[in-house]
């Protein structure tokens, strides 16, 4: 078997066997297939695509390229949750404690932020003392003890994905549905989950801005879950404007605490309840979405999720007093109030522009090894659909240097109209394994 022959076969639109896909991935991981050959293979996949069986085989080959976590020592069914990335996406910090407070184990591996999208690990590390590095046995013991642990993804999880992503990033093959889907799902499968709830974002701040793209990606990932024997459901969710009110690491931790205390933004709260309900149903804890949703509402009202977050922080070395004293979180030196220059309805808040501005403030990474500032970000005071008077505060910029052009840049993120904007659903569609 030769890489050349497999590249030619896929280039000509032919179907690859399971053994051929396994050969390409295993030999590339071992360094026996050259970067230029794998780049050609990725380009062939980009133009010719893969069928569901090929995509599932690619995913499993990548998942098997390194260490796979064995979470069989955890009591209960583990449902992992994944978001394709957005702006102000604080859902894990809210959903995970809520689901754990229902007695369902949450054993989650999360990543760091890259580009304009934030990362759960960066957010957690803005809590003084919090560590996201745990050995596997300690990880399992903590989940058994308090039903929750969130750790950083190990470098030895799906190493083929790390190598492939770096290659795709410089060869214009990132936006290929089979390659994206296998990248996401290989890490999820290797992390040991029993099933998956996928939050697939669509809109200006999403990796898949067009809804048709997001639906294709979601269906592909749900199909992979089915082929791998992992119950999987996907929600197509809106990312035309930032989720919640804050964008930035410490600011989003603050908002997560406030949300679990029952004081969160409507959209962030609702999405967390819906994602959590799907997790409870897949875990077999609840029979229906409605039953699960009601239970999570009760946990939110009783602040059981907030108590669980305190347990998580304490168990992983963080200062649990942050729950009661938000000033413990990193604080930026300057707060600049951005005021509207006109009256009218907010038609749109451009999530991508906001996310890029927050990255420029220092909250995000241009490269994987960039240093970030956990304290900076943007706090929205209004959302799309609100009627605003001239000089009313639209947003607060938290920065560690005085603002110059950023003030005007924030204003450019807001679009106004004289009539109320058309309603945008928070959740566009649900995709189950019966739909693929």
Residues with a known catalytic role: 82, 161, 168, 183, 187
Instruction: Measure the CA–CA gap between 400 and 377, rounded to whole angstroms.
Output: 10
Structure tokens at 286: 């609840």
Phi, psi of 174 (to 5 degrees): -65, -45
Instruction: Measure the CA–CA gap between 237 and 235, rounded to whole angstroms.
Output: 6
Structure tokens at 343: 């009256």
Between the CA of residue 27 and those of 31, 35, 93, 263, what are the distances in Å? 6, 11, 38, 52
Alpha-helical runs (H) found in 30-90: 35-48, 52-63
Q: Kindly calculate the radius of gyration of the chain based on its CA atoms and give it in whole angstroms.
A: 22
**CB of 235 within 8 A of CB of 426?**
no
Between the CA of residue 228 and those of 56, 222, 376, 390, what are the distances in Å? 7, 10, 41, 55
Q: What angle do CA 371, 374, 379 make, to 5 degrees?
A: 130
Structure tokens at 93: 């910090």
Strands (E), 104-226: 106-110, 148-152, 195-202
Q: What angle do CA 331, 369, 82 make, to 5 degrees?
A: 75
Instruction: Measure the CA–CA gap between 61 and 218, rounded to whole angstroms.
Output: 20
Residues in the chain: 436
């Amino acid at each position: 078997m030769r890489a050349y022959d497999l590249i030619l076969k896929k280039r000509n639109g032919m179907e690859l066997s399971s053994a051929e896909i396994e050969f390409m991935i295993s030999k590339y991981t071992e360094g026996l297939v050259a970067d230029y050959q794998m780049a050609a293979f990725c380009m062939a996949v980009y133009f010719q695509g893969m069928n569901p069986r090929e995509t599932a085989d690619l995913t499993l080959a990548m998942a098997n390229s390194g260490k796979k976590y064995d979470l069989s020592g955890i009591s209960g069914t583990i449902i992992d949750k994944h978001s394709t990335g957005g702006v102000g996406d604080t859902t894990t910090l809210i959903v995970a404690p809520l689901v754990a407070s229902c007695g369902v184990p949450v054993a989650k591996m999360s990543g760091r932020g890259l580009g304009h999208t934030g990362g759960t690990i960066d957010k957690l590390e803005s809590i003084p003392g919090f560590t996201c590095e745990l050995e596997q046995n300690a990880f399992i013991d903590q989940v058994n003890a308090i039903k929750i642990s969130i750790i950083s993804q190990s470098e030895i999880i799906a190493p083929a994905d790390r190598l492939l992503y770096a290659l795709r990033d410089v060869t214009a093959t990132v936006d290929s549905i089979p390659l994206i889907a296998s990248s996401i799902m290989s890490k999820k499968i290797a992390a040991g989950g029993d099933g998956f709830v996928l939050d697939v974002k669509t809109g200006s701040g999403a990796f898949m801005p067009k809804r048709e793209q997001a639906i294709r990606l979601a269906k592909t990932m749900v199909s992979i879950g089915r082929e791998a024997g992992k119950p999987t459901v996907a929600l197509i969710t809106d990312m035309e404007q930032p989720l919640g009110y804050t964008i930035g690491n410490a600011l989003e931790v603050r908002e997560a605490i406030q949300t679990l205390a029952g004081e969160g933004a409507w959209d962030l709260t609702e999405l967390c309840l819906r994602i959590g309900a799907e997790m409870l149903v897949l875990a077999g804890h609840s029979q229906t979405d409605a039953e699960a949703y009601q239970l999570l509402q009760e946990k939110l009202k009783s602040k059981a999720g907030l108590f669980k977050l305190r347990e998580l922080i304490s168990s992983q070395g963080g200062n649990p007093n942050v729950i009661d004293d938000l000033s413990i979180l990193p604080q930026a030196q300057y707060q600049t109030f951005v005021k509207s220059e006109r009256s009218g309805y907010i038609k749109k808040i451009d999530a991508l522009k906001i996310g890029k501005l927050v990255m420029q403030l220092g909250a995000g990474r241009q490269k994987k090894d960039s240093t970030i500032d956990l304290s900076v970000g943007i706090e929205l005071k209004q959302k799309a659909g609100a009627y605003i008077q001239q000089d009313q505060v639209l947003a607060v910029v938290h920065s560690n240097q005085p603002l110059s052009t950023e003030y005007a840049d924030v204003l450019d993120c807001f679009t106004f109209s004289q009539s109320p904007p058309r309603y945008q659903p928070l959740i566009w569609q649900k995709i189950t394994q019966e739909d693929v």
